[in-house]
Structure 1
Amino acid sequence: MNQPDHEFPDESRTIRPHAGESIEDTRNWPGLALVAVGLVLLALTLTAAGYGFAGWAVIAGALCGVCLLGGIGIVVAEHRRVKAR
């Protein structure tokens, strides 16, 4: 009996991302690392603000925003590049 060739995931008939797509693509890793650093900086920002270190809170908050926006931007750009291919 002749069975058609199947590829997993079925990328020819679906536009939805599959589980682990971001981690499989090594070009996403810098973006994911920036998001992780941004989350750590968010914790540092909240800690510094809680202890009254306003200067450090502002610095960490600015760096947090840059890292989170940059990381998300890299991941989204790579996702769009893969889908356009």
Structure 2
Amino acid sequence: MDISTLIQTGIVEAADPGPRRARVRFSEQHSGWLYVLQHPGAKVTVEAADGHTHKAALGEWMPKVNEQVLAVYLPVDSGDGFILGVV
């Protein structure tokens, strides 16, 4: 695999929320199904003006069709790829 193709941006063509994966169109090619990475346990704390805080949790994220995403591939032949997030 060419090192210049290990990290790419592309446009989501299809998304399958069940197994959490999507297909991406890069400039000259189309991906297979790429798994969407998550950040389990991520928490956000919001502090209000009077000094009290509120806890919140981030929900699961899935890219939408036509969104631009950042994808990374493992550096091995036929390596799996993953979607890191929206660009």
TM-score class, shorter-chain normalisation, is under 0.3
Larger radius of gyration: 1
Q: Which one has the bigger helix percentage? A: 1
> Which TM-score applies when normalising by structure 2?
0.27
